[in-house]
A and B are shown apart, each in its own frame.
Chain A
Amino acid sequence: MRRSPEIVRGLLVAVVGLAVTAVVAAALLALGGHSPGATFAALIAGAFGSWDRFVSFTLVRATPLLFTGLAVALAFRAHVWNIGAEGQLYAGALAGVAVALLLPTSAPLLLLPITLVAAAAAGALWAAGPAAMRTRFGVGEVITTLLLNFVALFLAQFLVQGPLQEPRRIFNQTDSIPEAAHLPALLPGTRLHVGFALAVAVALALWLYLARTPGGLRLRTVGASPRAARVSGRFRATPVVWAAFLTSGAIAGLAGWVQIAGVTHRMYEGLSPGWGYTAIAVALLARLNPLAVVVTAIVFGALSAGGGAMQRDAGVPEAWVRGIEALVILAVLATDRCWQLLAARGEGG
């Protein structure tokens, strides 16, 4: 139950944070011998320059960040520190591709739902190990989820070089998935696929769940205080923790498969440029609010889409974009902290 001042504050912090980012980035770009004006112009044109740039690039690139960001936000709300969205993403991608390639059906109404379910199930399964280790033995999930990322990554490498490799065996990638497994376009004539709408729907559902349902209240309580859950809420935290792990893993699993079904149409090595990790920033900047994750995911999608254009049109290496992403995080966090300090001083004096 958020109140309006909270939203106003979030927006103001975001605007001031982005302004600070722009100033600092401009200074650094100038020091690096690049023209800040031309760089920003290329970045913005690349991300928002036209309807098609915005829809086909920014929103398409925001989609996997939105899924993984939501996965992280949900888990963190329950104080489940799932750092493993990256691995769960790969698990989902592999499961979806495997089902799409191996299942002998070509009916889209059948194949697509099955692949989506398979991807979500695989993501959840990838999170189940850490969930069991935490709830049974008290092993911290930061370590287990993180380490399983590498297991998933290497498993993916093995599969695209081995059992799932394309028949020609030239590239480390799978065969194209059948058309029946493609996610249809969301807006005709653009590259934006239904996966984006699905991600927004998940965001809406999570928000409603957290704010409006008894289960959401329980999850938030476990995140805030497991002892209050037991004593005041009279429920056990363990099933809630399990649910948070599994749902988070399932959503992250969707990220991988949706990217394939909507964009690449095949699985290959290095499918994700680290979406599962960027997701942590996406979720934290959104203060773990699912609706705000939609906004922050689009911001990071825009940076990613604009980065390519920046390199092409302004001759600024794309690595700068990673630096700008980091600056966004630092600036917004710093702004937020300053805001808190100012508010505290205002109340105190």
Chain B
Amino acid sequence: MSPGEIHGLIGENGAGKTTLARILGGLAAPDSGKVRIGGRAVELSGARQARALGVAMVHQHFSLVPSFTGLENIALLDPGAWNRRGAAARGYRERVEARARELRLAVELDQPVGGLGVGARQRIEVLKALMPDPRVLLLDEPTAVLAPQEVDGLLAVLRRVADAGGAVVLVAHKLDEVLAVATRVTVLRRGRRVLTTEVASTSAPQLAEAMVGSKVAGPATSSRWRGAPLEATPVARLAGVHARRDGRQALRGVALEVRRGEIVGIAGVDGNGQRTLAAVLAGVQRPDEGEAELPPEVGWIPQDRTEEGLVGGFTITENVALALHGRSALRSGPWLDWRGVGEAALGVMREMEVQAEGAEMAAGALSGGNQQRVVVGREFLRSGSFLVAESPTRGLDVKAAAAVRARIRELAAGGDEAPGIVLISTDLDEVLELADRTLVLVRGRLVEMAPGDRTHRAIGRAMLGADRAGGDDW
């Protein structure tokens, strides 16, 4: 990177963008390799040192103290804000205001930031990072929470920083923003750099293809559907479903039918309604409008295993009991049949080859891969007719991810007894590998891909229509 450059860093979820940014920001150490700043190899041991070397970072999740005012937050980490006795330096406020004017950043300095909107908070975050006049400004997905006009404002500020000789690294997964502001761009895919190029000599389709890869989908792998016709009656059906999340419209007229023995893949960029769709399909959220016909029991592998799929302080047995505690076969009188649940837990562990000291081990002490095996095995217990798998391999290493995919494929291949499966994933390779048919979730709408369009390029284009959708994460 050179002074005056705006470098876009793009890639899908899990491609390694944030990790790379954290290494440059001093928040993570590389296993191997070197960071050079100003021609000198440096070992960054923390954010403070990175700041001292002129690297400032704006985080994906804000790092502001909600009860402090904007000025207090900006002063917090700026050595220039304090005199030798630790009191506020004279004229600091004027300097902050001058810098804000220079960058044309409209910041509110006197309100507690907790009461400000996200856009206003982010402007403070940006000004805070820019106060010491850093050589490198890192922004990790800064536009994810902003409205379009706010995005334009932020991009303009970045341009001014670069014009003044600063270097900017912009981590993003939205192509058009990168194309609008960056001078060069690097594409990461599964932890590798696949492309670095001048923005002037590239195009959105080329970058999209680099992001998702150019491999064409292999033949659909699952199950009996290949020969035998599917049952006429769907096991789960949504029609005209509208649903909100946190007051925002997350699903807009979704229709979906799932039959036994098929895997329906739903691709899409994060934040286009995936979480809400999963909750509706699992029967946990009722649609505001439209119909949802679901079987009485649904397996649901949630995307967040530590907060939703498991209780870390519970044993494996207790976590299995969470799914089974309503079954009359596992009760005797008022009591839960712990022996029966324990056997079920051991069954899950055997079936999924969970590496643990026993079923009484705390789930939180397991590795991520083993935790996910517990979740998957447990949800299979209630997947007699229908399973929703939501990014089931997120955050897993290659081997654990392959094991989980293999189990899902086996489940779908189970003949007449196989459940219908919906696979919601932001990993396009995963969708194409497992799904019999593919839909794309874009701004709360489901678009079915024609069988001939099951290519990375076609799906990637459909997914990118979603760029400006509001997030619906919890």
* Whole-angstrom distance between the Cβ of B22 and the nearest chain A Cβ: 24
Whether A232 lies near B336 (C-beta < 8 A) is no
**CB-CB < 8 A to B319: which residues of A?**
232
B307 & A217 in contact (Cβ 8 Å cutoff):
no
CB–CB B334/A224 < 8 A = no
Q: Which of B133-141, B320-328, B426-434 contacts A (4 or more CB under 8 A)?
A: B320-328
Q: How far is the CA of A218 from the CA of B360 in the complex (A)?
A: 18
B308 touches which one: A1, A212, A231 (CB < 8 A)?
Answer: A231
Smallest beta-carbon distance B224→chain A, Å = 29
Interface residue tally for chain B (C-beta within 8 Å): 32
Knowing A228-B308, A231-B284, the reply to whether A217 touches B325 (Cβ < 8 A) is yes
Are A1 and B317 neighbours in the complex by a CB distance under 8 Å? yes
**Chain B contacts with A in 318-347, Cβ cutoff 8 A:** 318-319, 321-323, 325-326, 331, 334-336, 338
Contact B302 A232 (CB under 8 A): yes
A9 CB to closest chain B CB (Å) equals 14
Q: Does A163 contact B (CB under 8 A)?
A: no
Cβ–Cβ < 8 Å partners of A212 in chain B: 335-336, 338
Q: Which residue of chain A has its CB nearest to the CB of B375?
A: A232
A3 on interface, CB distance cutoff 8 Å: yes
Let me know if B338 and A214 touch, CB within 8 A.
no
Task: Tell me, in angstroms, the Cα distance from A214 to B326 when the chains sit together.
Answer: 7
Q: Are A217 and B322 in contact (CB under 8 A)?
A: yes
Which of A1, A227, A231 has its CB near the most chain B CB atoms (within 10 A)? A231
Partner of A232, one of B283, B308, B331: B308
Q: Are A217 and B308 in contact (CB under 8 A)?
A: no
Known: A213-B334, A217-B336. A231 touches B325 (CB 8 A): no
Q: Give the shortest distance, in Å, between B404 (CB) and chain A (any CB).
A: 17
CA distance A231 to B284 in the complex (A): 7
Interface membership of B300, Cβ < 8 A: yes
A136 within 8 A of B: no
Which residues does chain A contribute within 8 Å of B321, judged by CB atoms? 217
Question: Which residues of B are found within 8 Å of A231, using beta-carbon distances?
Answer: 282, 284, 300, 302, 308-309
Q: Is there contact, CB below 8 Å, between A217 and B318? A: yes
CB closest chain-B residue, reference A235 = B326
| Contact yes or no, A234 B283, CB < 8 A | yes
Considering only CB atoms and an 8 Å cut-off, how many residues of chain A contact the other chain?
18
- Contact digits for A224-260, partner B, Cβ 8 Å, 1 yes 0 no: 1101101111100000000000000000000000000
- A228 to B363 Cα, complex, angstroms: 13
Contacts of B375 in A (CB 8 A): 232
B257 to chain A, nearest CB (A): 23
Chain A residues with CB under 8 Å of B300's CB are 231
B143 contacts chain A at the CB level, 8 A cutoff:
no
Contact partner of B325 (CB less than 8 A), chosen from A1, A214, A224, A225, is A214
Tell me how far the C-beta of A159 lies from the nearest C-beta in chain B, rounded to whole angstroms: 39
| A214-B336 in contact given A225-B311, A231-B309, A232-B322 (Cβ < 8 Å) | yes
User: Is B69 at the interface (CB under 8 A from chain A)?
Assistant: no
What separation, in Å, do the CA atoms of A224 and B321 have in the docked complex? Answer: 15
Task: Judge if A58 is at the interface, Cβ distance under 8 Å.
Answer: no
Give Cα A218 to B325, complex, Å: 9
Q: Report the Cα distance A227→B375, complex, angstroms.
A: 15
Nearest-CB residue, chain A, relative to B320: A232
Chain B residues closer than 8 Å to A232, beta-carbon distance: 302, 308-311, 319, 322-323, 375, 378
Known contacts A1-B338, A221-B311, A233-B325; 20 further A-B pairs (Cβ under 8 A): A214-B325, A217-B325, A220-B314, A221-B314, A224-B311, A224-B313, A224-B314, A227-B308, A227-B474, A228-B309, A228-B310, A228-B311, A228-B322, A231-B282, A232-B302, A232-B309, A232-B319, A232-B322, A232-B378, A234-B284
A-B contact pairs, 19 of them (CB 8 A): A1-B317, A1-B338, A3-B360, A212-B335, A212-B336, A212-B338, A214-B325, A214-B331, A217-B322, A221-B314, A224-B314, A225-B311, A227-B307, A227-B308, A228-B307, A228-B311, A232-B319, A232-B375, A234-B282
B interface residues, Cβ below 8 angstroms from A: 282-284, 300, 302, 304, 307-315, 317-319, 321-323, 325-326, 331, 334-336, 338, 360, 375, 378, 474
